[in-house]
Every structure is written in structure tokens, then in C-alpha cells.
Structure 1
Amino acid sequence: MGVSIIIPYHRGEHFLRDCLDSIVEARLEEYEVIIVRDVNRLNNVDEEKSILQLLEWYKTVLPIRDFTLLDKTGVAAARNLGLSKASKEYVYFMDSDDYLIYDGLSKMLQVASSSEVAVVYGTMCLTWFKRYTFLKTDKQEMYKDSKDVATDMVKRYDVSDVAEQLFREEVSVLNMLIKRSWLEESGLHFDEANEFYSDLSYVTGLLARSTSDDTWICSRSKTYAKRYHNDTIQYPSLSQVKANNRMEQFLDAYVASKGYIRASSEDLTDLLDEYCCRFLLQNYEKSYHGKNDPVLTETTFGAYSIALHDMNNRVFINFNKQQQQILMAIRNNKQEKAVKIANKMFMKRKKKGLFGNTIQRARALDKFIFRRLPIKRNWVMFESFGGKSYSDNCKYIYEYMLRNYGSEYRFIWVMRDHKIVIPGNPVIIKPNTYKYLYYLARSKFLVFNSRQPIWYNKRKESVFIETWHGTPLKKLVFDMEDVHSASLTHKEDFYKVSRKWDYLLSDNSFSTEVFEHAFLFDKEKIVEYGYPRNDLLYADNADEIAGFVKQKLGIPQGKKVILYAPTWRDDEYYSHGKYKFSLAIDIEQMKQRLGEEYVLLLRTHYFVVDQVDSLCGDGFVYNGSRYQDITELYLASDICITDYSSVFFDYANLKRPILFFTYDLEKYREELHGFYINMETEVPGPLLQTNEDLIQAIEHINDVEETYKERYNTFYNRFCGIDDGHAAERVVEKLIRG
């Protein structure tokens, strides 16, 4: 007995790799993998060539048969073609963006062979992560099963019992092992005219045709990982595709499903009707319904009114009072009443309007008041790290303008702490306040080094200069396969805000290339001027500044300074935007062996919310995390220790020793981010795994410098070649003054 695994494919080569790798390791014996490629949905010829090359390789380890949809498109057509080519006793449906969990399918086959069943359906596990991450870190325990079965293997003879399990979540043929001869006898086909909901009528048809002789078995064991998509821009899942005809297509699938059910099957009818009502309510309740609402067109409303009119009253008792009111209004063809109730529920939940939550108030004020005021052409607004500091590229652009054109402009700085002294007497405002909204709407030039609020809608007359905050080592945004940060909508959010940037500042050609594909950003808008924050590293009075910084921090004269500036870990956080800090360095051991000559200056990433004061005060450890400008800390230090932070790209301008404390290199590279350069061969210093390695490197720092001298020079020429002390001048003269 064998199985034909049917996989439709249209886009997402990285998804398919995970899918096929999981089949390789599934311990199957007699099987075939039928891949149906929907070439009409590929972006270009190169993408088609790439997937063909991938399949050729996998054919060396899997019994793959691949076919092409030429004059048709869609998942339904692909599955129908796959079914027509299947040759094994059982068929099994997968999506190319999902993967098997361990040997779950093999166990399902064992159950099928021992019981002569029609269908074995397994338990899905929902995940946001690629297969490597999911299996290695056991993140599957974070997600509930989509189907909760009371015992490990349960026989289901009553069709209504089976249907109750399947209709509990989104109805799908995925993870179903079905006897092929039984399928052929049913004469069922997927509805190729239905892009989104062909599974509903197909599964309902199978249930309706089942008799007491057709055994369905449900497995409680996790057998299938259903993967959510974190990239709705490049690789949206079918459920994320924006389409105005979803309501119509669901209704078509519902009507087709009704046609399969015998009049005597009241239980199955009620389950299908309740499923339809849940779908309808989800679409009604999730958004505000105004004019030209595609969800509530007159045609759609009338069709659903007819559908609900035929439902038995007992279907509606499982919904709350307001939901019943909406359903009854639709049933009685009272569209205005249904809209009124749905909008009332939405407004109560979202508090839509001027007196609602912060975002809603911001949108209202911006739209109805501030955006109607004229742009002030000599106003320049600066924001660095969300208002956390007076630093980075924004600071040096501002100070250049202040020195050369101070009387011609009105400067606005966004600062959370108003006690921080900023030269030039600019207007100081706090982020996300009414003043913030006012100046955001009226300033001609907006100079930020990180993302602006997602709700901000830039005016056409304003100029948004995104200076960014570092040459990228870690993979960014659309180059990341997994998103481990607190916000799983990171990619979509980033895409929305970055479309409003007029210019993106780059420090080198390497960064320009990365920004283009990592941000999906227009190369014509990326300007390679160098980073203004690095101008200070070439200042004539750099030594004087270094002495001032040491004095300000209380570092004793004669002590050498080790700057430790690690990055944050995406998977270590309290909540959205608030990350933990775990110190990996053994401070006591370092103090004992290096304390006579050195002090340790800690500088955490700006995302981190933990305070490091408790580690300081012993005369060896100093807290530089609150110091406004890390560039000044570079000048004050003799050695830099980092890991995967971009600080070493800037620090290399000084040509001072850099050590990389990469104790979790494999996890960070393979699981959390991945890198753009080869850490082992390209960074200008050694990779150190243990505290002992780190301390010994510092004790023999002259030998380290000599060993890495040639690599350091190569690195400097590649990444620091544009920086010359005049980057701020180029930005101002070309983008603001020009």
C-alpha cells in the first residue's frame, strides 16, 4: 500500500524546500510526490528555471513526478490534475508552504492499512516558523492544535461526528489521507472556478457520500505543520490575498455544498449552516462598513439573505444576542439594520473616532485639522531612535545645519526626556503627543533614523529623509524568513512605513544593494553619502572629545576602555518593542584578570529596556547605555567587543581592535536572523565562543591586531571608503538645500 502526495505550487521556493525536506525525513516506503506547478502565477522565466533546478535536485532523493498547469490556474485545478495522475492506493494533500511533522504521515498510513478505512485525518499544528526553527526549538508547544481530539486514535462511524470535528475550524483537505478508489467512485472534483473555497464543497461532498461502511479515523498526534505567512507583500497565503469577491465565492461553495447533502442529513446541514454564519459574522464584525463596502454590496446581501432564510432556527442559538440580531437582519433582507448593528459593535470595540484610542485620535486630528494647515518650508523635524536620544545621523545633520544655516530654519527635536540638553534652542516635543502630530504634519523636512509611526500619512509636499542606523550584518525585513520579534506583522508594517520615505541614506555600496532587496526599496531613492554620525571619527579634536567622555563617565585616567556593545535577541522580549538584556560576559573573571589595566563600558541596544546599573559601581564596569551618542563612546574606547551589532562597521573607521563574542553564533545565524557576510572569513577580528577565549584575546591584543591586519584593511576599504568627515554636508547641501 502506498500514497500519492499531491502538492500544488505557485510561488515561494523557500517554502517548498521545507515541504520536500519534511517528506524526505518522513520514513515513508511506497510513495510518490506529485507536484503541480502553476506557471501562470510565477513572476518571471528566471523563477521558473530556478524551481525546475530545485526539483531536479530533489528528484535524486524523492520519487517526484512534476506536472504543469498551462491553460488553467489555481489550487483547485492543480489538485484535480494531481488526482488524475495519482497511482497509489491513497492520496494525501499538502500545500507547498507547509511541512510534515516527524513521521506522522507514516503512522497514518499504518492505521489506514490495518483498518481498511476511507479517510484518516491528522491533527494540524499552527506555526509562524520555518521547519528548522519549529523542530529545533520545539516552538510547536507554543501553538494549540487546530483540532483537539479526546484520544490518540478515534474511529468515527457517524458522519455528523466527523463533520463536527472538521467544521470546528476552517474546512480543508490538507492532512487528509484518502483512499483513491473511494474518491474515484464519488466522482468529486475541486471547483476550479472557486479560487478560495473549493475545499469546502469537496470535503462536504465526501462527508455527504459517506455511509456506515466508510470508516473515518482521526489521529490526535501532530502530523502536519500549517504555516502562517509573515510576508503578506511578496508571499501572501491564499487567505491573505486581497479580493473583493471572497463573499461571493464562499457563498458559491456553500450552495454547492448544500447540493451534496441529502435531505435527511439534518446534523450535517446544521453544521454547514452554522459554519456559513460564522464566516459571515467574521466578515461583518472585523471592519467598519461605509459607502462602497465590498463586503455588503446589495447583490451579496440579497444572496446571503436567501441562504439564511432557508436555515433552521436552531442554527442561530449558538450565537450571542448581537450576532443573532445581525443574522436575523440579513435573513430578513434588512441591510441598513445589519450595517448599523455591525458598525456599532465595531465602534465599541475599536472606539473609532475623535474620542477613541490614541491612533484614532491621531488620524482624526491629522485629517481634519493639521493637514489643512500649510507646510512650513523652513521647518526641519528630527527624531532619533523614537525620541530616546540626541544622537546618530540625525544629530550630526542637525549640528551641520545649526553651524551653517541656523538662522534660516526652525528646528524641532523629538525627545522623550526634556532634560537632555540640545544646542541651538530647538523646539522640543515628546513623541505621540498633539504637538508631535502638529509638527509632523507641518514640517517640510523630516529626518528620522528609524521607522516613523505606522499610522503616519506623509504629505506630498514634505520630504522624508530616512538616515537608517547602521550597515546591515543581520538579515533585515524581507530577507528574513522567520520573524521572532514581538510583532509578527513586522514585514507588512515595515513595508507600509518605508513607502513614505523620499530618500534612504546608505554608508556604502554594500548597504545600497541590501536595502534594495531587504526593504523592497527603489534604488533611485537610496543615496550613498556616508553616515553623518561617522564624521566625528575624523574630527581634528577627536582626542579632546575622548578625554571629555571619559571624564563625564568617571573613568579614571590611565585606564584603557573596553567597549562592549552587543545587539538584542529577537526572541528575548517582554512585549512588543521591549527586549530583554542577558549579559553573557563573566564580569568577575574579567575584572580579576584585566582590572588593573582596563575598565568595561557596557552599551546595550536601544531596543533593550532592562537597566544595567546593578552591574556597575565597582570601579570596573561603567554604564554607557544611557549615554546619548555611541559615536563619542567609540572615541573613548581602545577595544570594541560586539557580536552581531552593526557597530563594528562604524568602529572600523578608527582601525582599532574589534573582538566578536559570538557564543550563540549558530542559533543567531540559522534561527534568528542570518547574515549578509561570512562572519568566519570577512569580519575584521576573531570570533570568540567562551569567556576564556575573550579574555585571552584581550591579554594578547597586539598579536590579534597583527593576525587580522590584512583582513581589517580589506574590510575598511569595502565598508568605510565613503566616510571622510563630510557626510552631513552632503546630505544637507544635496537633499535639503539643493
Structure 2
Amino acid sequence: MSVIVPVHKVQGYIRQCLDSILDPDLPNLEVIAVDDRSPDGCGEILDEFAERDSRVRVRHLEENVGLGHARNVGLDMATGDYVWFFDSDDYATEGAVRAIIDRLEETRPDVLLFDYARAYWNGRVKRSVINHLFREPPAPDVFTLEERPSVLEMMMTAWNKAIRREFLLEQDLRFSGGYYEDLNVTYPILMAAERLSLLDRVCYIYRQRRRGAITRTTGAKHFDAFAQYDRVFDFMDRLGSKADPFRPLMFDRTIWHLLVIIERGDRVHDADNERFFAEMSKTYAKYEPEGHEPPDPEDKPFLADKHRMIKANDYRGFQRVRAQEAKHKARRKGHKITRAGRRGVRLSKDLAKERPYYRMQRRLPIDENLAVFAAYWFRGYACNPAAIYEKVRELAPHIRPVWVVKPGGRKTMPEGVDYVVFGSADYYRTLARAKYFVNNVNFPDEYVKRPGQVHMMTQHGTPLKKMGLDQMDYPVGANDMDFKALITRSDRWDYLLSSNPLSTEAWERGFPCDYEMLEIGYPRNDRLVNAIGDEEQRTALRAEFGVPAGATAILYAPTHRDYQRRYSPMFDIGRVMDQLGDDHVLLLRAHYYYKIANLAADMGWPEGRVIDVSRHPSVEDLAIASDALLTDYSSIMFDYANLGKPIVIYANDWETYKLTRGVNFDLTATPPGVVATTEDELVEAFVSRAAWSDAAAKDLANFKARFCPWDDGHAAERAVRRMFLGEKVPNPPQ
């Protein structure tokens, strides 16, 4: 079987798509991926798959031709007995490819139809509403459309069918351009087939993306449906009398689909509705079969009236019927409206509790030169926002930046940095009046984004772990997260920073909102890149931390474990430091989730050999001062790689972490250096100097090339020029 996958602007989904198809136990499979001049990282991802799996063939098109024509390119390349046209943002269910191939071998049909489910962005998965057609009445293994005409009522897409390739070529059918490129292929093959077969199994997951679906894009391109149905009826004319039994049902399906397009409200512009309706009337007059029986007025009164109005080309009458139908539905759902009304009352009460001062301030003009900065839930001055803040003061001196901090964070604020305390009147006034907002996490739910305010989300690390909506499959890591509320907060973003291609893929999946992705590198890493070779700075920082001259300083920065209630070191730090010897020092940086006064002293670890730097405000200082990094799954590894210094990964609970938190790639297969899974291996990595070996250096270079391609010391400048100065910046950097 040849699986044909046209690819365009789906870099967040294409890996799952291909992984779901490429069953490792199916050698008689080829995947033909057609890169339809995708402007994102899809082409590189496809090449990556082709390099490691000989069953994948990639064709890069020189210009964008659209889904239908890209399928034709793949069909011309295909060599399989059967072809399966697969959309690149969807995925197959586990075992589906094998089940389809097994059914094809059993029945040898011209067309095999199988079922699908819709997967919604909120995690809900729902099987097709017509799944009963696979069972009622029971179908023989092989049949014709005349024997089972209800097959025409199944989804008219290409992706729920495996088609015998020679049969398809014999019909001289090609996919066309436009939004409804499937129709002139999928209906005709059912009519022409001598052998049809069904597989009563959900094989395909049709992703209902929150944004980006072209068929839910309002515009004139939906008029394309008329040309596609013209092609279907032309094919029926060529079939002659063989098609006669299908004409009534095909006609009803056509009108049904055109009604869906005009009535959904998100496809045809209101100004074009009357013109679309007129084209429907022409189609009705042109293709209504002789003796056609319209819908039964007793059974479906509104549908019967709509047919009558379409046939008469009475648009005003059609509007009246729709209005009557809407009133009828509203009356039937009256009890639901009452409950919704009560919810509205409760919402109004909630709004009444809103701080009057904040509400009053939002009525005043926005200060075009005021900017709000925050990091880590108002913990203090840090991370990407701090780097952008410093560049704002340099490049946009007309902007007045103000930080938001919690009361406990005031003492950590650098001298000369203006700030307001979270919850104060100054805070609410600043929140209400500022033009710009920069944060590495979301602002609280009480923040109301006013028209004209601009928000930049910087994030605070490259996502090795699953983030956003991707966490829905990992309830331990999600920890009862309200994903609807998360997406509502994320809808505020105007700009979202990405530090590397992996981040772009993860953010597009995890936060499917309407922002501009800035693939510009991480501003906080500018300092690391610019500090390379600065021995004076490094020496001063080591003295500040108490690192003895000549000692190897290891920065130990582990991540948070969602399956742990409190911080617990993953190895015996005292024992490991004893084995490393007096010439090694551990700079211990506990995750900020843990409130620990002085972990080193509390645990009785060697004095002066384990230095607790958890409260130091700048992790960049620690990275510059150290000689090597020891971490597990923390995003610090991606930043630290810029320095070119050794990295050791301690992955003793990798399988547990994968299952509970979810990961975006296999760190143990493509590490930034040595990977240790036991204490003995961890000690050996440093004692034997394996962390400094040529092999480790090669792994680090590959890791840096993959995950630090845009960190060149100018990321903060690009962020400021784009957001505060309104300039276009290279995206990603050249």
C-alpha cells in the first residue's frame, strides 16, 4: 500500500501523522510525502523521516500547488497495489494500517471504506455519526454500490478510503484544486467500482483544529463546490445507464452538502449568500432527476420547504424557512436557554465583584509608551522578559517599562528598575493603562485585555516535556489543569517567542491561538552567547560563589517531577561528591517550585563542596561560572548548550518521566553529551572525563545545531524591533 501525504504548514502535527502510519512491522508499505512548498519546517522534518526509514519517499515541490494537485503528484509516484490519501494534520489509530492491509488482502476490493473519529482541540474524540452504516444492514465482504447505495452517505473525503491504484488510474480521475477537491474522485469511484468492501473500525482520526482549517474559512472559494459537483454528474453521464440508480441519492447528497455550506455561517460571506443560493437553484434545476421525490413534509418539514424554495429560486422564502426553523429549535431548547440565562446572571455577579478601581482605570486612555514586564508569576526580575527589558531601554528609550512583582520579590529587583507590587492600586492602574505586556507565563485571569493592548509571550524554556493542550494525554503532568481557561488566557497573545524549530512545533500544537510566531531565539541566551571567552567575567562569578581556584564546578539543575510531592534528590549527592574528590564542586540549583532555605546545609553535605545557589537570581551567572552542567530533563540544557561546555544527563527515571509528563523527543537517543542512568555511571562521567571526550563533544555539537540555531546574541533586539518599534525582522534569523 502507498500512503500519499501532501504536506503544507503542519509542522506541529506531521510527526504524529507519520509515526501513526509507519508501523515498524509492515515492510510492504510506502509513504509518499509531498512537500507542497511548505513555508515552515515541514520539509526538514520529512527529510529526517526519510533518512531513518527507507519506506518514506519525499518530493519537494518548487511551488505551492494545493492539496488536490499535491495528491496527484503522489499518485504518479506511487507503486503500491492500493493508495491511501492521508491528510498531514491527522493520524491513524493504533494498528489501523495493519488492519486495513489485512482487509485488503482478504477482500481485494476496488475501494475499501473504513470509519473515522473526530478529535477536537479540547480532548474530546467522537466517532462518526454515520458509523451505523457499516453494520446496518450487515454487509457482505464484497458488494457493489447498487447493492448497498447507503455507501454514498458516508463521508465524501479521500482519507477514509483505500483505493486500488490501477482501478483509479483506469477511471482517468484526478484531484482538482479548490476547497472540495475530494468530491470529483470519491463519489465517482464508488459508482464505478465492481468490488466495494467495508471495515467497521475507526482507522482514522480527523483532527478538528481550533484554527487553520480551510473549509471553515469564510470566502468565495466555497463556490468551488458547484464545479466539483458538475464534474461528478459529468462522470455519471459518462457511465450512462449504470449510474441511473444512483442519481436520486447523489442529487439529495449534493443539495444536502450545499445547504451545509450556506447554513454553517463560517463559510460563505453574508454578502454572498444570495448569489450562492442562486447557484444552488441552478444546480437543482440542472441535475434534479426525473420523478425525484423531495423530502417528506411530514417527516422533515423544514428540509422539504428548503427544497421547495431552492427549486423556485426563492431566496426570501428560504430565509423565512430558516428563521422559522431557528424559532422552532429555540422553543425546543427553551429549558436550556433558561439555564444559560441563569449562568449569565451568575457571571454578572462575578463581574460585579471586579475591583471597581481596575474597571474605572480601563475606561481611561491607554498610555502608548507604558509597558508591563513580569516573569514566573511575579517572582521577580528574570528570564526572557529581563533580557527584552534591557534592550527596550537601549533601543526604545521612549517606552517606560514597569515590572510587576509580589511583595517578597521587591528585594530582588535591580537598582533603578521601576516596579509595582502585585495587587496594589498601582498594579491595577498599570495593568489597565499599559500598551505593551511582556511575560514568560500568563497574566492572571482577572487581567482584561483591552483593544489596542499588545501582549508578547516569551515562554521560559524549550519544551522537552509536553506543554499546553499536549498535556491532556498526561493527567499526572496536567494536574487537573483547566485547558479551556488556559486557551482563553493564551488567546491574549499577539506574539509568541520560539527558541528553535522544536519549540515552534510544540507551541503550534499546544497553543492553537491566533498569534504571530517569532522564531528569533531566546533573549535570555544573548548573555550566554556574548559571554563566550570572557574569562574576566567567569573568574569574578566563580569567586562570588566561592568556587575554589582550579576546581571543576558542576552546575546541578534538576527539573520538577510531577509525580513527586516534594523535592527529593535523584541520587545521593553526598556520596557522589565524596567519590568525585576535593577538586569538584557542585553548584546546586533546585527547581523554583521548591521553597528550600539551604538544602546543602540541611542535608549535611560536604561544606564548601556543595554550594546551594537555588536563590541566586540569575541562572545565566551560574552557567557562565560553571565548567559543566548536570541535569535531567530541565530546559536549561538547551540554553547551556550555547556555551559549548560539557553536559551530563542523569536519566535514572526516564521511562517514568515519559509516562507521567510526556516528551516531545527521545532525549536519550539524541543527548547533548553523556547519559547516565545510575550513580556509578554518573560518577564515571566526571572521574573518567568522559563528559569532555570527543564523542560527547560531537553529541553536544549536533544538539546545539538542532536546538540553538537562532541563538546568536541578538534575540532580544529582534523582539524589541518587532513589538515596540513595529519593524519586520528575519523570522527565523538567516
Q: Residue deviations 1:46-96, cap 9 Å, x none?
A: 9999999999999x869x9999999x95544566788899999x6534136
Return the match for 1:216 from 192, 196, 208. 196
What is aligned with 1:448?
439
From 156, 170, 178, the equivalent of 1:171 is 156
Q: Does 1:673 align with 2:664?
A: yes
1:565 pairs with one of 552, 557, 562? 557
Residue 244 (structure 1) shift? 0.7
Quote the Cα distance in structure 2 between the aligned partners of 1:692 and 1:312. 79
Distance 1:256 1:398 in 2: 59
Partner of 1:18: 18
Aligned to 1:629: 617
In structure 2, relative to structure 1, the CA distance for the partners of 1:546 and 1:521 (3 Å cut) is same
| TM-align CA RMSD | 7.8
Q: 1:335 to 1:580 in 2, by over 3 A?
A: farther
Q: 1:120 aligns with which of 106, 112, 120?
A: 112
3-state SS of 2:630 partner: strand
SS at match of 1:604: coil
The SS at the match of 1:18 is helix
Deviations 1:371-418 (A, max 9, x none): 8615264x442210343555435468879999x9xxx99764334x54
Residues 369/197 of structure 1: CA separation in 2 closer, same or farther (3 Å cut): farther
2: CA distance between counterparts of 1:167 and 1:617? 72
CA separation of 1:644/1:398 partners in 2, compared to 1, >3 Å: closer, same or farther? Answer: same
The CA deviation at 1:657 is: 8.5
Contact 2:421 2:427 (C-alpha < 8 Å) held by counterparts: no
Query: What is aligned with 2:527?
Result: 530
Partner Cα distance (1:611, 1:252) in 2: 66
Structure 1 equivalent of residue 510 of structure 2? none
Among 665, 677, 693, the alignment partner of 2:681 is: 693
Question: For 2:76 and 2:502, how far apart are their aligned partners in 1?
Answer: 44
Q: Given residue 104 of structure 2, which amino acid in structure 1 is its aligned partner?
A: L
- Change over 3 Å in CA distance of 1:18–1:399 after alignment to 2: closer
How far residue 642 of structure 1 moved from its aligned partner, in angstroms, is 1.1
- Asked if structure 1 preserves the Cα contact closer than 8 Å seen for 2:47 and 2:58, the reply is no
Aligned to 1:428: 421
- 1:334, distance to aligned residue in structure 2 (A): 3.2
- In the alignment, is residue 333 of structure 1 matched against residue 319 of structure 2? yes
**1:687/1:515 Cα in 2 relative to 1: closer, same or farther (>3 Å)?**
closer
- Seen in structure 2, the aligned counterparts of structure 1 residues 531 and 456 have a Cα distance that, compared at 3 Å, is farther
**2:634 aligns to what?**
645
**Aligned amino acid, residue 95 of structure 1:** F
1:604 aligned onto 2:591 = yes
Match runs of 1:436-515 below 5 Å: 439-440=430-431, 442-443=433-434, 446-449=437-440, 469=460, 500=495
2:368/2:434 contact within 8 Å kept: yes
Shift of 1:107: 1.5
Partners in 2 of 1:440 and 1:54 — Cα distance? 47
Q: Are the structure 2 counterparts of residues 527 and 625 from structure 1 closer, same or farther at C-alpha, using a change threshold of 3 Å?
A: closer
2:198 alignment partner, SS class: strand
Alpha carbons of structure 1 residues 640 and 264: separation in structure 2 relative to 1, 3 Å: closer
2:518 is the alignment partner of 1:521: yes
1:297 paired with 2:273, answer yes
Residue 197 (structure 1) aligned with residue 180 (structure 2): yes
Query: Is the Cα contact below 8 Å between 1:381 and 1:412 reproduced in 2?
Result: yes
Give the TM-score taking structure 2 as reference length: 0.56
CA contact (8 A) 2:6 2:71 kept: no
- The structural deviation recorded for 1:688 is 1.2
Separation in structure 2 between the aligned mates of residue 334 and residue 298 of structure 1, nearest angstrom = 13
SS in 2 for 1:382: strand
Relative to structure 1, is the Cα distance of residues 301 and 84 closer, same or farther in structure 2, using a 3 angstrom cutoff?
A: same
Q: Does 1:107 align with 2:107?
A: no
CA offsets per residue over residues 226-261 of structure 1, 9 Å max, x none? 5649797xxx66547x45135434466568768968
Structure 1 CA distance for aligned equivalents of residues 490 and 648 of structure 2: 34
Whether the aligned pair in 2 keeps the contact of 1:167 and 1:272 (CA below 8 Å) is no
What code does the residue aligned with 1:413 have? W
Contact 1:563 1:603 (8 Å CA) reproduced: no
**2:157 aligned counterpart, secondary structure:** coil
Matches within 5 A, 1:377-416: 377=369, 379-392=370-383, 394=385, 412-415=402-405
Q: Deviations over 1:517-551 (max 9, x none)?
A: 9986376998985269999x95998689759xx9x
Q: CA deviation at 1:110?
A: 1.8
Q: 1 CA distance for matches of 2:254 and 2:400?
A: 64
Alpha-carbon shift at residue 121 of structure 1 (Å): 1.7
Is the CA contact 2:587–2:613 (under 8 Å) kept in the aligned structure 1?
A: no
Residue 604 of structure 1 aligns to which amino acid in structure 2? H
- Per the alignment, residue 728 of structure 2 pairs with none
Out of 211, 223, 247, which is 1:248 matched to? 223
Return the alpha-carbon distance in structure 2 between the equivalents of residues 53 and 705 of structure 1: 27
Amino acid at match of 1:385: Y
Structure 1 counterpart of 2:649: 660
The 3 A distance-change label for structure 1 pair 164 and 437 is farther
Question: Aligned runs of 1:607-622 on 2, under 5 Å?
Answer: 619=603
Q: Distance in 1 between matches of 2:44 and 2:641?
A: 41
Amino acid at match of 2:105: Q
Distance (whole Å) between structure 2 residues aligned to residue 662 and residue 652 of structure 1: 18
Q: Is the 8 A contact 2:500 2:521 kept in 1?
A: no
Distance 1:335 1:434 in 2: 55
1:106 maps to a residue whose letter is I
CA contact (8 A) 2:146 2:246 kept: no
Shift in CA distance, 266/661, structure 1 to aligned 2, threshold 3 Å: same
1:155 maps onto 2:144 in alignment: no
Change beyond 3 A, Cα 1:513–1:200: closer
1:582 and 1:42 mapped to 2: Cα distance?
A: 48
Change (3 A) 1:708 1:339: farther
Following superposition of structure 1 onto structure 2, how do residues 251-262 of structure 1 map, counting pairs within 5 Å? none
The answer as to whether partners of 2:436 and 2:454 remain within 8 angstroms in 1 is: yes
Query: Which secondary structure does the structure 2 equivalent of 1:414 belong to?
Result: strand
Shift in alpha-carbon separation, 1:383–1:483, aligned structure 2, 3 A = farther
1:556 is aligned to none
TM-score, with length taken from structure 1? 0.56
Task: Give distance in 1, aligned partners of 2:425 and 2:225.
Answer: 44
Which residue identity is paired with 2:176? E
Displacement of 1:312: 3.9
C-alpha change, 1:274 and 1:161, in structure 2 (3 Å) is farther
**Paired amino acid for 1:192:** S
- State the shift of 1:171 in Å: 2.4
Q: Distance in 1 between matches of 2:530 and 2:350?
A: 33
Distance in 2, matches of 1:197 and 1:561, equals 62
Q: Is the 8 A contact 2:116 2:204 kept in 1?
A: yes
Change in CA separation of 1:8 and 1:531 when aligned onto 2, cut-off 3 Å: closer
- Counterparts of 1:534-549 in structure 2, within 5 Å, are 538=537
Deviation at residue 495 of structure 1 after TM alignment: 11
| 8 A Cα contact 1:329 1:337, kept in partner | no
**Helix, strand or coil: the match of 1:122?**
strand
Q: Partner of 1:325 in structure 2?
A: none
In structure 1, distance between residues paired with 2:719 and 2:254: 62
Residue pair 1:397, 1:729 contacting (<8 A) in 2 also: yes
- AA in 2 matched with 1:414: V
